[in-house]
Structure 1
Amino acid sequence: MLGILVRRGADFAAAEDAVQDALVEAVRVWPADPPRDPKGWLVTVAWRRFLDATRADVARRRREGLVDDEPAPGPASAVDDTLQLYFLCAHPSLTPSSAVALTLRAVGGLTTRQIARAYLVPEATMAQRISRAKRTVSGVRLDRPGDVATVLRVLYLVFNEGYSGDVDLAVEAVRLTRQLAAAIDHPEVAGLLALMLLHHARRAVRTAPDGSLVPLAEQDRGRWDTALIAEGVAILQAALARDRLGEFQAQAAIAALHADAPTAAETDWVQIVEWYDELARLTDSPVVRLNRAVAVCEADGPRAGLAALAALDDALPRHAAVAAYLHERDGDLATAARLYAEAAHAASTIAERDHLTRQAARLNTRRGR
């Protein structure tokens, strides 16, 4: 609906308001009188709301001549505008970070809190960033697609939120990335698709029937989706052969090494550390360095992992959880239990909080014995 209204000439903020009005009207009307063509009904009502708001606003009267007449009643187009809308929200007038934030909020379905967590900033800061982005594009005709790299970043973050279990967006992100890979021949687009497929192949076993998290080392690898793994590896190999390495290809290479190991004990951690080094060079991300510390622990021992962790800010999300794991591996159960409890207190999801709480309880029980 947003895509249709924007394509007809509505500015983004006004289109978003009109769509929300139409959805509220649907909640009110549909239980007693459901439409035969729900999408067509919603588009028609949203367009009328947009025209009414445009005519009522004196500052926008000059734009009335730019909008098309109301379309004749009939079935709505079945064309999927979602990916196109992602590109339009990545507008050249916005900075990449603002474009990503706006798209995640308005199109991707993420909450402001989820976006703030992904960017490691306070929720209030992210709310201001999104508001500024909306003001920037207010009155700007979204007819120039933005940068592919910005769209890739949006799809990556949408997939991560879906994969975390907070919202079920992973399948949608994979679908849109497949569309993008079919339209654009670029190794980083292929790298992102490979990364998604390799992670998604493990989704069915990431949680137990009771909803609790299952760490990678404890997952039933026989239940991983081998078809998705094979597809992801093939896509990644073709991308890497082009010798234009990017961060999504590097992340996919790490995921492929995990997928290739028959058991957790047979994981090639030395090569994973090397890929994390490449990824850190490409991104200079503290989150990458945090994950690298775990890989270093597995490859060279817990003392080496703790040394790698010491260089990082302990305010980083998941820092306490990683430190707890490394101290446990080093045999310091008291410190590990305390850090697991701290990490549980700061956890962003119930499943993560419960998992970390159980880890702290497990170590305290061992110490008691």
Structure 2
Amino acid sequence: MEKLRIGMVGYKFMGKAHSHAYRDLPMFFPNIVHPEMKVICGRDESGVSAAAKQFGWEEYATDWKTLLERDDIDYINAPSDAHKEIALAAAKAGKHVFCEKPLALTLKDSREMLEVVEACGVKHMVGFNYRFAPAVILAKKLLDEGKLGEIYHFRACFLQDWLVDPNFPLAWRLQKEIAGSGSHGDLGAHLIDLAHYLIGDIEEVIGMSKTFIKERPIPAQMSGLTAKGSNSEEKAAVTVDDATLFLARFANGALGSFEATRFAAGHRCTNSFELNGSKGSVIFDFERMNELQVYFTDDDEDVQGFRRVLATDPSHAFAENWWPPGHTIGYEHTFIHEVVELMEAFRENRQPVPNFRDGVKCQQVLEAVDLSIEKRQWIRISDV
């Protein structure tokens, strides 16, 4: 396969991110399967037609079902609340599927999606893009090589502040029937996946959550993390969490702490983790995504301390395809690296990673935390 013909459902925040990845991939990664941007789909014709022109898609459509009928489309992207319906229909039509996270609104739905894509024999991927920052991959490499020794602690937080204003409108991310959950499923899902990627399986959890602002103004329009209120003073209930925190025990004996909130004033996108092991530690913060803080216990005592490693040398993952050492990359590049993994999976005829199995694992932890909050007790992941 020389090209993969793409049909994408959704054209706003993630639609732009994925479009950029498909468009820039051939310039920097010329020797892999290339995406062919066939059709972008959205319900609002004026919006999706403008996006098609701006992002570089050949055509646009307003009904995702038409994509399934086309022989010139191999692969379909899909957005949150429509994941299950679109993924099942696409797989049954023989189309490969990419879904953003979380995989579905419920664990039951995510398990059904996995069952169907595997039964249909299509390739499937889920969008945990933060795995693909070179500094995160370096942390994984140090772990796998045993340079951090036995891991004792994994602590992670994803802090944002875009909802601190109580007059910010009721965007779709604040409505459970669309988003599934709030900061927990949106931000916490990334932390859980990074924990699975770096440390391994989580055995049990206990959590707590809170919705700080119970009602918000009805929006006139919204996109990504922005929204505009209407002239009406009408408000509606926020039906998701504003913040969720939980503790975890890992199968390998490590202890974990997780915090996801949209109410951390001053934090735009503090997606960070720290690992502490018997031989050393690492610290990552996505707001400084090209850097990994590294500490080794066997350094000479007079020079012990965290060192800043800039993960931009050719020896670091993906870096040789970008700029000279020290010339950093950004958020959008994690999506390009995601697509590199997808295209390599097609070339090697294997499932890309992370895929729907990883999505189900993440969803299982998300729901275990919800159950622990409801029951106010520890919950084993295997019991969910």
TM beyond 0.5: no
Greater strand content: 2
TM-score by length of 1: 0.25
Larger radius of gyration: 1
Greater helix content: 1
